[in-house]
Amino acid sequence: MKLLVCLSKVPDTTTKITFAEEGKRFDENGVTFILNPYDEWYALVRALELKEAHGGTVTVIHVGPSANDAVIRKGLAIGADDAVRIDATQSSSLFIAKQISAFVEAEKGYDIIFTGKETINYNRSEVGAMIAEYLDQPFISFANHLEINGSTATLDREIDGGTEVVEVETPFVVSAAKGMAEQRIPNMKGIMMANKKPIKVVPPVPFDEIAVPVFYELPPAKSGVKLIDADNIEELVRLLHEEAKVI
Amino acid sequence: MVLLFAEVQQGNFKKTTLEAATYAAKTAELLGVASVAIVLGEAENAAELGLYGIQKVYQVRHDHLKNFDNQVGAIVLSAAAHQLEASVIVLSHTSNGKALAGRLAARWNAASISGATGLPTLKDGVLHVRKGMFSGKAIAEYALKSEHKVITVMGNALQPLQHGALASVETLSLEVPSPKIKIKEVKRVEGIVPLPEAELVVSAGRGLKGPENWGIVEELASALGATTACSRPVADSHWRPHHEHVGQTGVAIRPNLYIAIGISGAIQHLAGVNNSKTIVVINKDADAPFFKAADYGIVGDLFEIVPKFTAAVKKLKA
Ligand SMILES: Cc1cc2nc3c(=O)[nH]c(=O)nc-3n(C[C@H](O)[C@H](O)[C@H](O)COP(=O)(O)OP(=O)(O)OC[C@H]3O[C@@H](n4cnc5c(N)ncnc54)[C@H](O)[C@@H]3O)c2cc1C
Ligand SMILES: Nc1ncnc2c1ncn2[C@@H]1O[C@H](COP(=O)(O)O)[C@@H](O)[C@H]1O
């Protein structure tokens, strides 16, 4: 089986978010970047498990500049066979999806393309759906379980208020949610091997950005907590009813 | 024209659809164009979209639309958008809405916003839309510079606003291909409002000590008519089902009221809940980080406080 896993680079979950140049750009000063948890823990690990069970290869792909090679190496250290980096700095979902689908069309033969449920910085959940559309393939979003039998896959996916069990033939695109696999910590051997594995660098196909961020800002700060005495819960209920008007 | 994808769940519109309808109507008003909706399959109350400002509803009926499929949906919706000469498609930010929006943006070469948190504005003739980023820790404003635009509306970003009359409903006949994905089974959590739609949420963490103590949490939730949620370690230890896990790796919610009981307020937990309108925190540790994100707080032992809280709610409702 030929498997492709889309990896994105995101600020660490504990990052204090600040913006520079009057909100024109995200301030990367002192920020630690990590591999997007959904891509790493669920998408990549499930792809590796499928390869271990059924044979094949796992390639990781990333759209970004060479400064992002560290997150790609992390993917290789966890066990991917090889890596592709599309050399571009643009970050709109449509741009990224266009690049990945153009690569897949040129390369051909991927049975399953994995993405994460969402990037934890952009919170879009778009890239997977867009790749699927460009490639005219089915898209199963928010899957938390994936089994494959020959060319038929059975997946559980999260829907609003429940779970859907679906069946689909390869090739398809899937976005991985919590539950699809368990996080793997790379071992020393994996980390050593990662430095020897190839990262193929591919130039981007031309594509105009049509959704551009104009500025960023922080949400208005909370005015501060109003503490209520533990012996006076009726006061809390009154405030929720009369002041906050939520009950 | 602004085209609303009016998502139907089990034959009806959920609140998220009505919010998106309001959003579509307001966007149309801003642009000075008509607002119409498209319904795939059957909806009992299609004409009611008019109450939220939608001027006309088009219904597409076909055997292939019995279950929602994003690939089929994108083909049908973009054909409809083309036929009706729409410039903006508005969807709700639901599981299916997100997948459909991504596909539509690619198919229609549209600038897209996934999870708009407020109504759009016009600046120099360009549509600007805001969305949350970093799991609600920041807001970004985007300029949508293309002819076509796709926007999904974050749940609870605005309230459904009734101001119109029933809309006329017309059938639209379009070619509908057969879905490539087969739906084998749908398991729904019965009897309660699912977390993403819940307006009131009572959530508990490791402070509860064990699954056997959840009775007091459930009693408070039932007194309020709230849905229950939990922190991640609680779901990971199987004290509570996984669909209750909120936070960065779980469900992200924005209810009107979020009550956090025995939860420390780690940043990854807050990421999923800090957009709640009102937050109440109950924790015995006055230095718990959650108090910084709270509107109301009680410092004390949850095992004493929660039953009293339930009694006070019952008294209010009586
Ligand atoms: C990448 C990543 C992603 C994560 N994603 C999530 C996520 O999506 N959701 C999530 O929740 N967590 C997530 N976590 C875990 C998170 O960091 C915290 O570990 C977790 O939220 C802590 O859960 P808790 O508050 O229930 O438990 P604890 O941190 O153990 O807090 C228990 C609290 O209960 C209070 N308490 C104890 N007894 C009482 C009592 N009798 N009365 C009153 N108060 C009492 C304590 O003072 C304490 O504040 C993630 C972590 C990482 C690294
Ligand atoms: N720059 C990128 N390169 C490769 N894959 C990406 C990139 N950005 C996003 N993805 C993939 O698309 C998924 C969804 O991203 P998003 O639509 O931004 O929420 C991520 O979990 C990744 O798997």
Q: Number of structural domains, chain A?
A: 1
Report if residue A34 sits inside a domain.
yes
Report if residue A231 sits inside a domain.
no
In the predicted structure, residue B210 carries a pLDDT above the cut 90: yes
Q: In this structure, are residues A108 and A75 in contact, taking their beta carbons and an 8 Å threshold?
A: no
Note the pLDDT tens digit of each residue in B96-105. 999 999 999 9
Backbone angles phi, psi at A146, to 5 degrees: -145, 120
Note the pLDDT tens digit of each residue in A27-72. 999 999 999 999 999 999 999 999 999 999 999 999 999 999 999 9
Strand partners, B150: B89, B112
Position B217 scores a pLDDT of: 98
Closest CA to B39 of B15, B21, B26, B19: B21
Three-class HEC string of chain A: CEEEEECCEEECCCCCCCEECCCCEECCCCCCEEECHHHHHHHHHHHHHHHHHHCCEEEEEEECCHHHHHHHHHHHHHCCCEEEEECCCCCCHHHHHHHHHHHHHHHCCCCEEEEECCCCCCCCCCHHHHHHHHHCCCEEEEEEEEEEECCEEEEEEEECCEEEEEEEECCEEEEECCCCCCCCCCCHHHHHHHHHCCEEEECCCCCCCCEEEEEEECCCCCCCCEECCCCCHHHHHHHHHHCCCCC
CA–CA separation, B39 and B60 (whole Å) = 6
CB proximity A246 to B under 8 Å:
yes
Look up residue B268 and give its amino acid: Q
Contacts of B282 (CB under 8 A, 6+ apart): B259, B260, B261, B262, B297, B298, B300, B302, B305, B306, B309
Tell me the mean pLDDT in the region B233-237. Answer: 96
A111 lines ligand 2 (CB under 6 A): no
Paired tokens of B311: 């009694």
Tokens 């119409």 belong to B36
Nearest CA in chain A to B147: A210
- CB-CB under 8 Å, B295 with A225: yes
Position B312 scores a pLDDT of: 97
Q: Which atom of ligand 2 is nearest to the CA of A61?
A: 4
Q: In this structure, are residues A145 and A155 in contact, taking their beta carbons and an 8 Å threshold?
A: yes
Element (DSSP H or E) covering residue B59 = strand B56-60
Q: In this structure, are residues B272 and B278 in contact, taking their beta carbons and an 8 Å threshold?
A: no
Report if residue A226 sits inside a domain.
no
Report if residue A238 sits inside a domain.
no
Paired tokens of A205: 């196909």
Our mutation pick for probing the ligand 2 site, out of A66, A69, A127, A173, counting the most ligand atoms within 8 A of Cβ, is A127
Report if residue A227 sits inside a domain.
no
Q: Is B247 left (phi over 0), alpha (psi -120 to 50) or beta?
A: left
Paired tokens of B22: 């309001």
Min distance B192 CA to chain A CA atoms (Å) = 9
Report if residue A233 sits inside a domain.
no
Residues spanned by the domain of A53: 2-218
Mean pLDDT in chain B?
A: 95
Q: In this structure, are residues B149 and B112 in contact, taking their beta carbons and an 8 Å threshold?
A: yes
| B240: confidence class by pLDDT, cuts 50, 70, 90 | very high
Sign of dihedral through CA atoms B187, B189, B193, B195? negative
In the predicted structure, residue B27 carries a pLDDT above the cut 90: yes
| A219: confidence class by pLDDT, cuts 50, 70, 90 | confident
Report if residue A223 sits inside a domain.
no
Could you say which DSSP state residue B312 is in?
Answer: H
Our mutation pick for probing the ligand 2 site, out of A95, A119, A201, counting the most ligand atoms within 8 A of Cβ, is A119
Taking only Cα atoms into account, the Rg of chain B, rounded to an integer number of angstroms, comes to 21
Is the reported ipTM for this assembly greater than 0.90? Answer: yes
A92 lines ligand 2 (CB under 6 A): no
Q: Residue A14 burial by CB count (10 A; 0-12/13-18/19+): exposed, middle or buried?
A: exposed
pTM of the predicted protein model? 0.93
Closest CA to B38 of B52, B9, B59: B59
Sign of dihedral through CA atoms B222, B224, B227, B230? negative
CA–CA separation, B216 and B146 (whole Å) = 53
- CB-CB under 8 Å, B114 with A126: yes
Contacts of B315 (CB under 8 A, 6+ apart): A234, A237
Position B136 scores a pLDDT of: 82
Paired tokens of B119: 């109504």
CATH number at residue A198: 3.40.50.620
- CB-CB under 8 Å, A159 with B242: no
What's CA B203's distance to the chain center, in Å? 18
| A216: confidence class by pLDDT, cuts 50, 70, 90 | very high
The dihedral over CA atoms of B161, B162, B163, B165, expressed in degrees to the nearest 10, equals 150
Tell me the mean pLDDT in the region A214-232. Answer: 91
Q: In this structure, are residues A132 and A148 in contact, taking their beta carbons and an 8 Å threshold?
A: no
* Cβ–Cβ pairs < 8 A, chains A and B: 265
Report if residue A243 sits inside a domain.
no
Element (DSSP H or E) covering residue B132 = strand B126-133
**Ligand having the closest approach to the CA of A4:** 2
Note the pLDDT tens digit of each residue in A15-24. 889 999 999 9
Residue nearest to ligand 2 atom 23, measured at CA = A115
Mean pLDDT in chain A?
A: 95
